[in-house]
Amino acid sequence: MEFISLIPILIMFVIYLVVIGLTIWFAISLISAQKERNLVLKEISNKLSVVENSKKEE
């Protein structure tokens, strides 16, 4: 009978762990996507500066 009284506490603990886990997963995936976006933007910027420099030389 004592175990039955612990079930709501265990369920809430599991729910809190799931919420914390999803929050961490979301943060990591968001940071990863931002890093990829920054790399692409840096490549575009480098290409644009090369094109701009070649136009100035002409």
Specify the pTM: 0.68
pLDDT at 53: 72
pLDDT at 24: 98
Quick: pLDDT tens for 2-47.
778 889 899 999 999 999 999 999 999 999 999 999 999 999 999 9
Quick: pLDDT tens for 39-55.
999 999 999 888 777 76
Banded model confidence at residue 56, pLDDT cuts 50, 70, 90 = low
Q: What is the DSSP string of 1-49?
A: -HHHHHHHHHHHHHHHHHHHHHHHHHHHHHHHHHHHHHHHHHHHHHHHH
